[in-house]
């Protein structure tokens, strides 16, 4: 599926990688031995908070995999510097970094088609963050939604939490990224990156492109126990979240216990029937069908019967990923080697950019 390469400040392009027309085009291109690529560079990052859940996979990672066949340069980072805005146990953080690497690889991130690396291993991220921070006003950061939310939860937030959107901007601009796959809740942070690119360019000459957003067309996956909120790793209710490493029995149990309502028919009405609609959305996403198609398939079933169908579809989708994560986790040395090689490749792109930035600032 072709995307327009034109991008004005704060513009957003939808990226719906499951479109049938794109699949046909991609398969045709592969059959002819050609590669279908858009110009431009893609960057995105994910925090090492353990194994991803189903919502992470459908909302982001599945799109990340597809982007490897869409763009000529695709860069994915495990953003461990961002994770330390909250207290971390060092050994657990190390384990989580490797678990995230294993998960990304198992989902289909391919180091031969993209760059996968650990953020802290490329020091240019922190250096550019400091420079951009000197171009950012405090009121600009204070009004970003993540700071408002997290600082209220903690009563007060750290300097790192306050300035981490600047580090996000540095992550993106360091590679002169043109496109960034993001969720809707990150749009304002991407706008900060666009603003900082413009401010830097106005002050030092045209240098950074203003990155565009790529939004996945997948609906947000909701908590199985509270469909008014997103599925979350930190949910205290163990039955609320499906993880990529859950066993088939665990998945069946969680879907069977999913909150629905007292109406037996299966319909898609997110406002009035959020629980059942969440199941329909998940079923559609993991099976590659439309919401209308899965609702038609469920005709004549009650919600109890339908939960069995949904659980089977999720198990079928996640089982190969679960087994591959287990295999990769067993070889920490292999994961560490892949991340080290990825950091080398990322550094080879970041270092020349920072050399030019230093020259523009007058450091030498």
- The answer to whether 10 is a known catalytic residue is no
- The answer to whether 150 is a known catalytic residue is yes
For residue 324, which of 146, 147, 9, 65 has the smallest C-alpha distance? 65
- The region, left, alpha or beta by phi > 0 then psi within -120 to 50, assigned to residue 86 is beta
Three-state SS for 114?
A: coil
Neighbours of 269 (CB within 10 A): 11
Q: What is the DSSP letter of 220?
A: P
The DSSP line for 265-276 is S----TTT-HHH
Burial classification of residue 88, based on how many CB atoms lie within 10 Å of its CB (0-12 exposed, 13-18 middle, 19 or more buried): middle
Residues linked to residue 214 through DSSP beta bridges, in sequence order: 13, 181
Sequence-separated (6 or more) residues with CB below 8 Å from residue 352:
none
Give the active site residue among 150, 307, 341, 359. 150
Question: Would you say 2 and 23 are in contact if contact means Cβ atoms under 8 Å apart?
Answer: no
| CA 349 centroid distance within chain | 22
Give the active site residue among 233, 238, 317, 359. 233
Give the active site residue among 10, 220, 230, 341. 230
Backbone φ and ψ for 180, nearest 5 degrees, come out as -135, 115
- The answer to whether 230 is a known catalytic residue is yes
The residue whose two tokens read 């859950």 is: 246
Sequence-ordered alpha helix ranges (H) in the chain: 20-31, 54-56, 62-67, 80-83, 90-107, 124-133, 138-142, 145-154, 159-173, 187-204, 248-256, 274-287, 291-297, 303-329, 332-361
Neighbours of 188 (CB within 10 A): 15
Residues designated catalytic: 150, 230, 233
């Amino acid at each position: 599926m072709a995307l327009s390469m034109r991008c004005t400040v704060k513009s957003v392009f939808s990226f719906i990688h499951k479109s049938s027309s794109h699949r046909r085009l991609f398969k045709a291109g592969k059959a002819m031995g050609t590669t279908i690529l858009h110009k431009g560079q893609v960057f995105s990052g994910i925090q090492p908070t353990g194994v991803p859940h189903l919502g992470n996979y459908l909302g982001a990672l599945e799109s990340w995999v597809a982007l490897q066949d869409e763009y000529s340069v695709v860069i994915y980072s495990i953003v461990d510097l961002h994770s330390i805005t909250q207290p971390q146990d060092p050994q657990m953080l190390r384990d989580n970094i490797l678990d995230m690497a294993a998960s990304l690889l198992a989902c289909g991130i391919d180091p031969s088609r993209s760059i996968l690396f650990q953020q802290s291993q490329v020091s240019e991220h922190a250096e550019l963050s400091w420079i951009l921070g000197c171009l950012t006003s405090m009121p600009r950061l204070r009004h970003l939604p993540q700071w408002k939310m997290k600082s209220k939860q903690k009563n007060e937030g750290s300097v790192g939490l306050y300035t981490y959107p600047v580090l996000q901007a540095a992550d993106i601009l360091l590679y002169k990224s043109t496109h960034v796959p993001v969720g809707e809740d990150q749009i304002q942070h991407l706008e900060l990156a666009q603003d900082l690119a413009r401010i830097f360019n106005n002050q030092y000459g045209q240098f950074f492109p203003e990155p565009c957003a790529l939004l996945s067309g997948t609906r947000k996956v909701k908590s199985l126990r509270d469909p008014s909120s997103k599925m979350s790793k930190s949910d205290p209710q163990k039955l609320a979240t499906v993880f990529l490493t859950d066993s088939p029995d665990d998945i069946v149990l969680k879907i069977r216990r999913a909150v629905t309502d007292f109406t037996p028919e299966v319909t898609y009405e997110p406002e009035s029937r959020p629980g059942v609609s969440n199941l329909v959305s998940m079923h559609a996403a993991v099976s590659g069908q439309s919401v209308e198609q899965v609702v038609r398939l469920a005709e004549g079933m009650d919600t109890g019967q339908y939960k069995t169908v949904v659980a089977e579809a999720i198990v079928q989708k996640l089982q190969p990923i679960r087994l591959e994560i287990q295999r990769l986790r067993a070889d920490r040395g292999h994961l560490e080697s892949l991340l080290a090689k990825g950091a080398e490749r990322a550094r080879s792109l970041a270092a020349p950019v920072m050399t030019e930035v230093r020259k523009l600032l007058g450091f030498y």
